[in-house]
Structure 1
């Protein structure tokens, strides 16, 4: 006996494989959603060399999964165009990873369209009909609902096993919820003789979890599935009563075989204001650093803009000759004129879309120091960028942008599945270009230090942990003034300085020096910098690795922060693409005034964390010093107890928990967000509500006798700066209380 959707899915499965390509959406990379037709367009990275038969089966299952998604969303959403990359590739841009072997599937909540975040599926478990063909397809739809809408599980909760529909509602035709255990309920339960999948719908308010014990109730404030969808990033209109029970007509998903090679268009501001602080000069050096880091299979091109915009070097493979032409074009840029950001975006996008062969890993990296003030409105270009599946990473330079200008750059980045960053001066562009090149080319950041300050003869040292299977490490040291004289030592785990050894390549680029070390020994390295004679003394340091099995991705949950709402920062360390639990995760927060604050991140169900022990670490940050950009440099250090996420317990009866030995690794990831409407902050305002009262004292005392590293409020509670939260800090709050006796506001 077949479920209601599969009677028509099997008839069109082959058609989905051979349907003509080019039906509107190229979805070159990070997952895209077309609100005009409800289509999710995305890439799938097969992490092994699959046979033609295996690729065919993968496409069939995704086609069937789309029918279930359409049924569950009352025919409002479905899969549109899916590009499949065989034998790995597009690691950060793919929304689904299909691993070899067996394992339990797992998705991050609400991270569809976020670079680096993906659903993990396993070929032997999720494409081999272990629980029937329908079971495979239901799993794809179930995980997609997690990933796209941030709907949590309805078969378990904080206290263990749970259910959406009560046991009294159990029948052979029970149809809600897809997020419940579709393997054992409804037609798959005893009443249905265990043969037919029937949980095709999502819950509404009237039938959702009456005893409020599921993760969906806990995480989403007792909302039903449909209530959460209606306010999600990819909304659908909730039914007025019960969802439509009948399955919609069959549809066909379009599939393409794709590549995952990186294709990047650098789009650089050359307006008149780029002369300030030598921004244009540092941008020229930054382009050279960027192209030096790319791999042979990567492609790069250069566009620029001022009053007008144009392509300086066409997009092409990063051969030595082409890299030289890109660098030469960058060096010829002259800063003058106005700021046509929209034109620059269009120039970069045209280069990507005109390629004969598109990739699932296409980027525009945009640099600008001013508000858009002429030409095409950049916001109007966003739909075209999204339609093509191109992600934009936007970088604001300096402090000359208005709040509206910063917001525009952030919107360009976040709405295209990219990112937004801000550097405070031209000098910081050097490390920014290098970091973005490393991350774009799938190299992991080992360590980074924002602006350091050196005095004459001062020595500063920084550890670098290099894990097994790393082919090269690169260390970049930049100084604000080329006249500043520094000595550099790179000490391997045996304590030997390797800077002058035969296996190290040194490359000097203006204010930067770059060392590339092949086949580095695994273990603890040390980068040591000595200021021999300096007049400025500002410097920055970055190191990254090619190879290794560790990764880290960081993002903010909401890109629209208005005081007093907190920033919720989330980080996912991964080992071979799977989330890692029991890691030590912390962040250094760079606030608009430049002052750093150190905070821990948690995976314990507190501080904004959804689910304890799932490998997604979270912190709530309220320690604002003004409106502007807040940058989080997040670091993970794995521990001896670190392990990979076991996968959903939904699959416990089918596959054993995911188990791998997590080798020690260290990674750094950066994310930024703009906070608006921050008033003048008063010292001692721990909860960030604009005043100081007994609530702040009580919050501080909850971390009494903890170090700032272990404290949940970090440096903001350490009023005397001794590194420990104690009664002395509480006493220092009393004199600055807003009201007498530190009374709270009535």
Structure 2
């Protein structure tokens, strides 16, 4: 059956550009255990970690009690800063504030990129975590006294039994859910209003606003978020609806006694560390194909693959403490471990690049055998705090050796995220998409091959949960010496492409540590690639190809690296350095501890006719809500674009769009833009929690 594969891109109008990231780690397993991760948005102390462990145990006990032992925590990973921030389901801040979350009413936000609970100092309690997980993971609505938020003027619609209020009502530390028999018990026939006395202990609804509080759909006096979201269903009924394989509602009232066997979560501390990246480069004979088959001066796919690896080494060498670790496996029918997974100090940069340059073409393609070659290197190095990543580049079909899916599963079980890069028109995109999507990576398509250096620049950011301020963008400038052949190439490159320009701008966020900009050749004649450029900052800064101290120059790319860049709009102007037309890809990335626009598509791989939900979430420190607008489009395999419309759920505050206008089998690219007004505000926290409004 034909399938379509989704790529994710984004751009930010005010804050910065988005990046396509993997979904969160959150999932509810078949046995009822809940796996997820927690990311500290600051360097946590030992006391912070100890307290978080205790609060997670409390939250586990509450959820286990509330579900009568049917759900409980499994493996929880604690991370900090940029390591795994894109995967985290809970973000913990150093500042004070009130907890909040945006979510889907079917619980699908648990494990969806961009949907995470925000926890602030003063409110890091087991009850708060349990309450917010009931939103994020279960899709349940609030049932406490905030009807003004959901359209009701008074009262609450609680459930009452011997255990008192439920988990989703009034406070975050209760441990029961409502069943249908005791859900929103202020029922009536609208012939007469309940008096205050009738409602005593179950919420207050005075007779003078009885009519305003009557819900004609459910025939109840109610206006809770849970009731409005789920058509009057109780929390237990909703939980069963969203998780039928794990949940059996009680026959009567819930068991008030805490169940035995709630257990102790398996909490893994990964709050320190750097990156581990294993490069897999296909050196089979087909990688010798020229980018432009009719041009004897054209470079080969392997030439561009080597250039991409060199660019990644330039970006990573000596960057961070502890140092990043990087290895290399080259493969045809036989894999060769060129470099083990070891530290990459600045002194190793050039020797490693030489190892890359020495790669030679070989025979056939054995993707699975190559992946197997990385098992022992990953096993031999410490994992704590490491972002374990593999970049798998191939231009062919697996035609010998170990089954790739089996080998990929072994790496997935070790916590390795596999990012795949198919090159050319014969690559097995279906296989590579499966490997990427099931490991938490993404597939980055290189249909020609000259995109590879810019793609690896992008992967260097996204594999660490960071953003591109300027997504990979084609640029061109016509040279004054253009002859007939040059004009023909210029016109051919423009056909079917995004509008080409010689100037591009992008935003840099405040407090960025470093700005990296790449210019990589888009034209296969590397010997004639001589771009001149001027990079202008918001305060009059100016950098050109003559500022050698800020550059890393390669025949295939130029890296501009600036420390502590000024916040604001930067502009890159391109010109020709030799009078010939110049073609280039440009991208920019600012190192900054805060991500911005997060985009996800669910499902990532679909059959034609299936509907895809595209989610988006904007953050600047914490999640932004008011003053943010979203727009987007989907690029189809034939190059056509289909706009998508994002809407906000009034109850859950989730931002999403849907797409099902497929016209061919292949890769569909999602492009999302968000415009953030100067007065944009953060998502308000829930009033039942202590702390200032965020």
TM superposition score category, shorter chain reference: 0.7 to 0.9
Candidates 296, 311, 316, aligned match of 1:289? 311
Equivalent residue number for residue 119 of structure 1: 117
Candidates 275, 278, 288, aligned match of 1:275? 288
Answer yes or no: is 1:183 the counterpart of 2:205: no
Listed one character per residue, the Cα deviations across residues 326-366 of structure 1 (whole Å, up to 9, x for unaligned) are 43333233343333333333333443332134325222222
Equivalent residue number for residue 188 of structure 1: none
Equivalent residue number for residue 100 of structure 2: 106
Q: Distance in 1 between matches of 2:245 and 2:441?
A: 20
Q: Distance in 2 between matches of 1:205 and 1:338?
A: 66
SS of corresponding position for 1:568: strand
SS of corresponding position for 1:56: helix
Tell me by how many angstroms 1:205 deviates.
Answer: 11
SS of corresponding position for 2:123: helix
Equivalent residue number for residue 509 of structure 2: 467
Q: Distance in 2 between matches of 1:371 and 1:227?
A: 48
Equivalent residue number for residue 428 of structure 1: 451
Equivalent residue number for residue 627 of structure 2: 582
SS of corresponding position for 2:171: coil
Tell me by how many angstroms 1:118 deviates.
Answer: 3.4
Listed one character per residue, the Cα deviations across residues 142-180 of structure 1 (whole Å, up to 9, x for unaligned) are 3233333445545578961679x984843452565x3x2
Equivalent residue number for residue 91 of structure 1: 85
Equivalent residue number for residue 551 of structure 1: 596
Equivalent residue number for residue 404 of structure 2: 378
Equivalent residue number for residue 266 of structure 1: 279
SS of corresponding position for 1:125: coil
Answer yes or no: is 1:148 the counterpart of 2:137: yes
Q: Distance in 2 between matches of 1:60 and 1:620?
A: 40
Tell me by how many angstroms 1:449 deviates.
Answer: 4.1
Q: Distance in 1 between matches of 2:678 and 2:233?
A: 38
Answer yes or no: is 1:160 the counterpart of 2:199: no
Q: Distance in 2 between matches of 1:485 and 1:517?
A: 22
Equivalent residue number for residue 400 of structure 1: 426
Listed one character per residue, the Cα deviations across residues 11-62 of structure 1 (whole Å, up to 9, x for unaligned) are xxxxxxxxxxxxxxxxxx9636584754444443333454444432221110
Candidates 280, 298, 307, aligned match of 2:324? 298
Contact 2:636/2:668 (<8 A) preserved: yes
Shift in alpha-carbon separation, 1:94–1:499, aligned structure 2, 3 A: same
Q: Distance in 2 between matches of 1:453 and 1:461?
A: 9
Contact 2:157/2:183 (<8 A) preserved: no
Answer yes or no: is 1:488 the counterpart of 2:530: no
Answer yes or no: is 1:346 the counterpart of 2:334: no
Tell me by how many angstroms 1:281 deviates.
Answer: 1.6
Equivalent residue number for residue 665 of structure 1: none
Larger RCO (CA within 8 A; separation ≥ 6): 2
Mean Cα deviation higher: 153-162 or 110-119: 153-162
Answer yes or no: is 1:173 the counterpart of 2:163: yes
Shift in alpha-carbon separation, 1:355–1:166, aligned structure 2, 3 A: same
Q: Distance in 2 between matches of 1:235 and 1:432?
A: 40
What runs of 5+ residues in structure 2 fail to find an aligned partner? 1-22, 186-217, 292-299, 481-499
Q: Distance in 2 between matches of 1:637 and 1:594?
A: 25
Contact 1:585/1:634 (<8 A) preserved: yes
Shift in alpha-carbon separation, 1:310–1:203, aligned structure 2, 3 A: farther
Tell me by how many angstroms 1:596 deviates.
Answer: 4.7
Equivalent residue number for residue 69 of structure 2: 75
Shift in alpha-carbon separation, 1:419–1:202, aligned structure 2, 3 A: farther
Q: Distance in 2 between matches of 1:502 and 1:537?
A: 20
Contact 1:442/1:546 (<8 A) preserved: no
Equivalent residue number for residue 657 of structure 1: 693
Contact 1:553/1:573 (<8 A) preserved: yes
Tell me by how many angstroms 1:414 deviates.
Answer: 2.3
Listed one character per residue, the Cα deviations across residues 547-594 of structure 1 (whole Å, up to 9, x for unaligned) are 364522211132243333443222222112434542243335332123
Listed one character per residue, the Cα deviations across residues 688-727 of structure 1 (whole Å, up to 9, x for unaligned) are xxxxxxxxxxxxxxxxxxxxxxxxxxxxxxxxxxxxxxxx
Contact 2:330/2:337 (<8 A) preserved: yes
SS of corresponding position for 1:379: helix
Candidates 246, 254, 260, aligned match of 1:236? 246
Equivalent residue number for residue 666 of structure 2: 628
Q: Distance in 2 between matches of 1:235 and 1:306?
A: 44
Answer yes or no: is 1:570 the counterpart of 2:580: no
Tell me by how many angstroms 1:497 deviates.
Answer: 3.4
Shift in alpha-carbon separation, 1:511–1:215, aligned structure 2, 3 A: farther
Tell me by how many angstroms 1:500 deviates.
Answer: 5.2
Listed one character per residue, the Cα deviations across residues 644-690 of structure 1 (whole Å, up to 9, x for unaligned) are 11133443xx33321xxxxxxxxxxxxxxxxxxxxxxxxxxxxxxxx
Q: Distance in 1 between matches of 2:376 and 2:531?
A: 43
Tell me by how many angstroms 1:207 deviates.
Answer: 5.9
* Root-mean-square deviation over aligned CA pairs: 3.8
Tell me by how many angstroms 1:122 deviates.
Answer: 1.6
Answer yes or no: is 1:247 the counterpart of 2:258: yes
Tell me by how many angstroms 1:289 deviates.
Answer: 0.9
Equivalent residue number for residue 496 of structure 2: none
Q: Distance in 2 between matches of 1:247 and 1:44?
A: 26
Equivalent residue number for residue 364 of structure 1: 390
SS of corresponding position for 2:327: strand
Mean Cα deviation higher: 234-243 or 341-350: 234-243
Mean Cα deviation higher: 218-227 or 33-42: 218-227
Listed one character per residue, the Cα deviations across residues 604-660 of structure 1 (whole Å, up to 9, x for unaligned) are xx3xx434794x543333454422111123333421121211133443xx33321xx
Contact 1:342/1:379 (<8 A) preserved: yes
Mean Cα deviation higher: 148-157 or 55-64: 148-157
Equivalent residue number for residue 131 of structure 1: none
Answer yes or no: is 1:411 the counterpart of 2:434: yes
Listed one character per residue, the Cα deviations across residues 183-212 of structure 1 (whole Å, up to 9, x for unaligned) are 18xxxxxxxxxxxx5443476799699569
Tell me by how many angstroms 1:232 deviates.
Answer: 6.2
Contact 2:156/2:223 (<8 A) preserved: no
Contact 1:591/1:630 (<8 A) preserved: yes
Contact 1:68/1:141 (<8 A) preserved: yes
- Counterparts of 1:699-718 in structure 2, within 5 Å, are none
Answer yes or no: is 1:391 the counterpart of 2:414: no
Listed one character per residue, the Cα deviations across residues 253-284 of structure 1 (whole Å, up to 9, x for unaligned) are 23343324222222233333333332222111
Contact 1:149/1:234 (<8 A) preserved: no
Contact 1:33/1:234 (<8 A) preserved: no
Tell me by how many angstroms 1:426 deviates.
Answer: 0.6
Candidates 126, 138, 153, aligned match of 2:127? 138
Equivalent residue number for residue 257 of structure 1: 269
Shift in alpha-carbon separation, 1:46–1:167, aligned structure 2, 3 A: closer
Contact 2:283/2:332 (<8 A) preserved: yes
Q: Distance in 2 between matches of 1:304 and 1:317?
A: 19
Q: Distance in 1 between matches of 2:100 and 2:348?
A: 41
Shift in alpha-carbon separation, 1:386–1:451, aligned structure 2, 3 A: same
What runs of 5+ residues in structure 1 fail to find an aligned partner? 1-28, 127-135, 185-196, 659-746
Equivalent residue number for residue 668 of structure 1: none
Equivalent residue number for residue 24 of structure 1: none
Contact 1:477/1:512 (<8 A) preserved: yes
Contact 2:514/2:561 (<8 A) preserved: yes
Contact 2:82/2:466 (<8 A) preserved: no
